[in-house]
Structure 1
Amino acid sequence: MKPMAHLGVGIGWRPEIADAVERLPGLDWVEVVAENICPGHLPEALLRLRERGTRVVPHGVSLGIGGADRPDPQKLAALAERAVALGAPLVTEHIAFVRTSSPALEAGHLLPVPRTRDALDVLCENVRIAQDALPVPLALENIAALFSWPDEELTEGQFLTELVERTGVRLLVDVANLHTNRVNRGEDPAAVLDAIPLEALAYVHVAGGVERGGVWHDTHAHPVPPVVLDLLAALRSRVDPPGVLLERDDDFPPEAELAAELVAIRAVVTAGGATKSGGTGARDAGQRDAGQRNAGPEGSDPVNAGPQAAARPAAVAPDARPEPHRATKAARTRVALGQAALLSALVAGTPVPEGFDRPRIRVQARALAAKRADVVARLAPELPVILGGRDPYREAFLGYAKGRPMTAGYRRDALDFAEHLLVRDLPADPAARRRLTAWWRDRSGATPPRRIVRWARALAGRAA
């Protein structure tokens, strides 16, 4: 596998901090959310960064490459278009599923795939499809999760290692997500770092979060905690990362605080060096399992545990891979059934499938609903104003969301929410209702339903 080009230390570019990003000293590169930019109309601030030689990497969040269905060709084409428009050296996405096709449901969030042979076969085939459609290399990120799947057959290290060996895909290692999964799922970050092929590393994410009630929430809206910087140092002791990036998506701090976080990250990256190049985990499953079994007890310090003795051979290059095992139709069906049952429990209130931690699924369901309300409010800031403020809006939206799972993205969700209110002759204030009707009409391109149609829809909804 060819080494990745050196990226350096960077930050996630967001419109809210665009001016601050331009002024940050020593910034080497930025990452943009792919779905938030239009290739033909790149923001002026982003164009200025490119003109001065700052590299830009598109980071996708909606492909759902870990889903049971094959990747959407239109989404792949859009990701490829953004890579070309930005002159990007690679594109990145997540090892996650975000939707199901039967029933048609959207999570609006990255959900973990089961670490099973079926799910791995499906993921590997989906990765190959994506690689064939993209003009630059693809890297995939480990995600943060609130819960685990029952009856998993592979550890995180085994799953990621086999994914790399079978596809040649790069890895985007998020050390904040490693910490999240240590708190939420009891997984040892050192065991993961020891097991995975770090020679496949594309770059590293660093971000903040917060712990509430024994659950770590990967918010990207809090300062990077020392424990995450410790994990970055643990990774740095094993490999010299091609790039490290600070993610911040909300509650943006003053420019000086962003600059200070980048200074702290750079200090970790430049302090000392890797004890050896590439990953250090053992290839054979028995040795990897032994590494997991030998992890320290709860309360010990797994972050600073030394690398295991066995050296890992280089990952298989894409052009030297053996004939791939193709995901069977039966495997896709089994993965689809499991993901549909879980997602339906999370967003449609159906029973939680057997084997899942029910309290954790309830926490995840509430988090998904809250995120859905927040994203719709950001996309349609007029709605909270029309409804009298954040609290009345949130109460109305969460009531709507209980009976209406998202099926076509957040923008459609905002329109459906407005129509839901109008069908019920809400808001109660006539002036607010007229404003909501005008808002809905301007964006839907159609006349709001007449009163008789609203009654018919309301009656049909009650009957259902």
Structure 2
Amino acid sequence: MQQTAHLGTGMGWRPEIAEAVERMPGLDWVEAVAENVCPGHIPDSLVRLRERGVTVVPHGVGLGIGGAERPAAERLTALAERAEALGSPLVTEHIAFVRAGGALTASPRLEAGHLLPVPRTKDSLDVLCEHVRIAQDALPVPLALENIAALISWPGEEMTEGQFLYDLVDRTGVRLLIDVANLHTNHVNRGEDPCAALDELPVEAIAYVHVAGGFERDGVWHDSHAHPVTQPVLDVLAELASRVSPPGVLLERDENFPEPEELEQELQAIRRTVAAGAARRLLPATPERAAELVTVGRTPTGAERAPTEHVTVGRPSGAPIGAHASPATGADPRTTTTATATADPASPEGDTGTGPDSPRQRLALAQAALLSALVAGTPAPEGFDRQRLAVQSRALTGKRADVIAKVAPELPAILGDTYRPSFFAYASTRPMTGGYRRDALDFAEHLLLDGRPQDADARRELSDWWLERSGPAPVSTHPVARFMRRARYTLIGR
């Protein structure tokens, strides 16, 4: 694995705070959502930042590399084009699935509109490793993958998050984007110890680190990216920095943007936390220091370990990626056996197949059943926490409504206070099968065919909006358009 470039301290670039980001003192790099950047029309703010020597990294959200289908060639091409247009040293994506169904399951294709966790199983890992290799071959720069936050857990998982990520790196050489806020989220929502995950991670594979805010409600942590960074998240960052010097650390903020001074204060807190973690990492290794760390509930790592101390972690301390065997026993110290992919002997190495009962099809069926329960109201798959599924389902619908409001701001303006309840009622029986713009049109069409809004002026305005955006088919030939034309003439008098 090549040495990861040093990035420094960064900020998530968003159009709403572009000017503030440009003025931030001491900013080394920025990250932009890949799908929001057009290679032929790079925003002027990003152009100016690049001219000043600020690194720009494209961060993808729609690839769905953890899904059952192989990564779409056009999505990989789009990521590659953005990396080249921005002169980026790497691109990043998420270990997640965002769509399911389709040919592999002989069921309708569904879109989640959100990042959903993959099961930490051998089947899932086999499929993911194949997808990572496909992506690596298609991209002109290294790929780094991010751990995600989750509200739900898959039943029957075979690995911890640290073990899953360790094997992924071991088998593919992919880099990692570690989100410490997501580690905290999974601690609250799934009872997973972030320190244990850090102990099992191949920290030398970290490309950079995300830090973001959120909030807790009714025992559930919501990774909102719209609230200040909390102390527990900074504590996880300090733990990571006490184990390794991260090449880069970046603050994410996606909504409810505060004044620039507040964002700069958060960046300063991140810098102080990383420095404090580094100071702990550099303390001498003594029995007293080891005892102190054990007292506070953290496993000593690296230079902090006393020479006589024995600690069982995900792999031997200092062992390179690929060196699973324990020097003492010759056995893998982890509790799972996932080092070799099971592939059809007649298939190319690493090919997980598409036939009946192949790892790919098993994963496809499992993900389709889960996503259908979340967005289409079908029964919960066996083994899932139904209450948590309900929370996740409401969260998906809420995010869907929020994105539609951004993609089509005219809709909440026309519908007013009825927008959100109307959308939730619509979404409860109509899962998203295309993009958000199609979803916005379908929502408006649903309301109009149902005779809503009740206010005639609002209905006329919504009808005009839909007709202007309903696609290339001539209005005279579109059946819904013809229906609404007739309805407007008879009901509205136009």
- TM-score, normalised to structure 2, is 0.83
Deviation at 1:425, TM superposition (A): 2.2
User: 1-side partners of 2:279 and 2:133: how far apart?
Assistant: 31
Matching residue's letter, 1:196: L
- The answer for the alignment partner of 1:113 in structure 2 is 118
Deviation at 1:326, TM superposition (A): 3.1
Q: Which runs of 4+ in 1 moved over 6 A?
A: 274-277
Deviation at 1:276, TM superposition (A): 6.8
Deviation at 1:89, TM superposition (A): 0.3
- The answer for the alignment partner of 2:321 in structure 1 is 315
Contact 2:10/2:30 (8 A) holds in 1: yes
* More deviation, 185-194/95-104: 95-104
User: 2-side partners of 1:370 and 1:276: how far apart?
Assistant: 42
Contact 1:183/1:216 (8 A) holds in 2: yes
- The answer for the alignment partner of 1:74 in structure 2 is 74
- The answer for the alignment partner of 1:196 in structure 2 is 201
Deviation at 1:21, TM superposition (A): 0.4
1:411 pairs with 2:405: no
User: 2-side partners of 1:316 and 1:62: how far apart?
Assistant: 30
- The answer for the alignment partner of 2:300 in structure 1 is 306
Matching residue's letter, 1:215: V
User: 1-side partners of 2:318 and 2:443: how far apart?
Assistant: 53
Q: Sort the Cα spacing of 1:364 and 1:396 in 2 relative to 1 into closer, same or farther, 3 A.
A: same
User: 2-side partners of 1:256 and 1:265: how far apart?
Assistant: 14
Match of 2:93, SS state, is strand
- The answer for the alignment partner of 2:459 in structure 1 is 433
Contact 2:238/2:277 (8 A) holds in 1: no
CA offsets 1:200-246 (integer angstroms, 9 cap, x no match): 00000000000000000000001000111111110001000000000
Match of 1:39, SS state, is coil
- The answer for the alignment partner of 1:386 in structure 2 is 414
Which structure 1 residue ranges, 5 or more long, are not aligned?
278-294, 456-464
User: 2-side partners of 1:179 and 1:63: how far apart?
Assistant: 24
Contact 1:240/1:274 (8 A) holds in 2: no
User: 2-side partners of 1:192 and 1:19: how far apart?
Assistant: 37
User: 2-side partners of 1:313 and 1:270: how far apart?
Assistant: 25
Deviation at 1:271, TM superposition (A): 3.0
User: 2-side partners of 1:60 and 1:331: how far apart?
Assistant: 26
- The answer for the alignment partner of 2:141 in structure 1 is 136
1:177 pairs with 2:205: no
Matching residue's letter, 1:311: S
Match of 1:38, SS state, is coil
Matching residue's letter, 1:178: L
- The answer for the alignment partner of 1:30 in structure 2 is 30
Q: How many residues align?
A: 429
Matching residue's letter, 1:58: P
* More deviation, 267-276/433-442: 267-276
Higher RCO (C-alpha 8 Å, min separation 6): 1
User: 2-side partners of 1:82 and 1:94: how far apart?
Assistant: 17
Q: Sort the Cα spacing of 1:127 and 1:451 in 2 relative to 1 into closer, same or farther, 3 A.
A: closer
Deviation at 1:449, TM superposition (A): 3.9
- The answer for the alignment partner of 1:85 in structure 2 is 85
1:28-427 alignment runs, 5 A limit: 28-102=28-102, 103-271=108-276, 273=278, 302=297, 304-307=298-301, 308=311, 310-316=316-322, 325-329=350-354, 330-387=358-415, 389=416, 391-427=417-453
Contact 1:237/1:273 (8 A) holds in 2: yes
Matching residue's letter, 2:152: F
- The answer for the alignment partner of 1:290 in structure 2 is none
1:18 pairs with 2:54: no
User: 2-side partners of 1:272 and 1:385: how far apart?
Assistant: 48
Matching residue's letter, 2:21: V
Matching residue's letter, 2:60: G
Contact 1:348/1:405 (8 A) holds in 2: yes
Deviation at 1:421, TM superposition (A): 1.2
Percent of pairs identical after alignment?
Answer: 67
Contact 1:229/1:265 (8 A) holds in 2: yes
* More deviation, 413-422/162-171: 413-422
Matching residue's letter, 1:359: Q
- The answer for the alignment partner of 1:282 in structure 2 is none
Match of 1:99, SS state, is strand
User: 2-side partners of 1:15 and 1:142: how far apart?
Assistant: 25
Match of 2:40, SS state, is helix
User: 2-side partners of 1:117 and 1:275: how far apart?
Assistant: 36
Match of 1:393, SS state, is helix
Deviation at 1:410, TM superposition (A): 0.8
Contact 1:120/1:159 (8 A) holds in 2: yes
Contact 1:147/1:361 (8 A) holds in 2: yes
Matching residue's letter, 2:321: A
Matching residue's letter, 1:306: P
- The answer for the alignment partner of 2:489 in structure 1 is none
User: 2-side partners of 1:56 and 1:249: how far apart?
Assistant: 17
Match of 1:264, SS state, is helix
CA offsets 1:120-171 (integer angstroms, 9 cap, x no match): 0000000000001000000000000001000011111111000000000000
User: 2-side partners of 1:272 and 1:386: how far apart?
Assistant: 51
Deviation at 1:117, TM superposition (A): 0.4
Match of 1:11, SS state, is strand
Contact 1:142/1:177 (8 A) holds in 2: yes
What RMSD, in angstroms, separates the aligned Cα atoms of the two structures?
Answer: 2.1
Match of 1:76, SS state, is helix
Which structure 2 residue ranges, 5 or more long, are not aligned?
103-107, 283-292, 302-310, 324-338, 342-348, 486-494
Deviation at 1:401, TM superposition (A): 0.6
- The answer for the alignment partner of 2:335 in structure 1 is none
- TM-score, normalised to structure 1, is 0.89
User: 1-side partners of 2:468 and 2:249: how far apart?
Assistant: 43
User: 1-side partners of 2:350 and 2:397: how far apart?
Assistant: 38
User: 2-side partners of 1:419 and 1:246: how far apart?
Assistant: 39
User: 2-side partners of 1:425 and 1:377: how far apart?
Assistant: 21
Deviation at 1:422, TM superposition (A): 1.6
Match of 2:75, SS state, is helix
User: 2-side partners of 1:76 and 1:91: how far apart?
Assistant: 11
User: 2-side partners of 1:97 and 1:234: how far apart?
Assistant: 28
CA offsets 1:69-89 (integer angstroms, 9 cap, x no match): 000111110011000000000
Q: Sort the Cα spacing of 1:165 and 1:367 in 2 relative to 1 into closer, same or farther, 3 A.
A: same
- The answer for the alignment partner of 1:291 in structure 2 is none
Match of 1:203, SS state, is strand
User: 2-side partners of 1:89 and 1:29: how far apart?
Assistant: 11
